[in-house]
Amino acid sequence: MTKNTFVNEISFGFNNTFISNTSNTKFLGLVFTNSLSWKDHITQLIPKLSKACYVLRCIRPFMSQDALKSIYYSYFHSLITYGIIF
């Protein structure tokens, strides 16, 4: 191995286990990229939020305003605010 050789996998630990370099990883429901951008996390979050909007739109004629707020905070709002401190 020369000085300028780049190693994508390193051998370490028990039984020479290989750990490869990845561009993103999911940890506690948040997607982290090696560039620390939110693009991949947002890409995974958009379909969930779209489903929540669809459900709220479908049940709107049948529920009271208070029930809709409760459903909004339990599903849509919780998806948005989870991990916001990061």
| CA–CA distance, 32 with 29 (Å, rounded to integer) | 10
2 in a domain, yes or no?
no
| CA–CA distance, 52 with 70 (Å, rounded to integer) | 13
71 in a domain, yes or no?
yes
Q: What is the pLDDT of residue 10?
A: 54
Q: What is the pLDDT of residue 57?
A: 94
**Total count of domains within the chain:** 1
Has this prediction a pTM greater than 0.75? no
Distance of CA 16 to the CA centre of its chain: 31
| Parts of the chain with a pLDDT under 70 | 1-17
8 in a domain, yes or no?
no
Q: What is the pLDDT of residue 22?
A: 75
Helices within the chain (DSSP H only): 39-59, 65-71, 77-81
66 in a domain, yes or no?
yes
51 in a domain, yes or no?
yes
In the chain, pLDDT over 70 holds for what percent of residues?
78
4 in a domain, yes or no?
no
5 in a domain, yes or no?
no
Residue 54: give the domain boundaries: 24-81
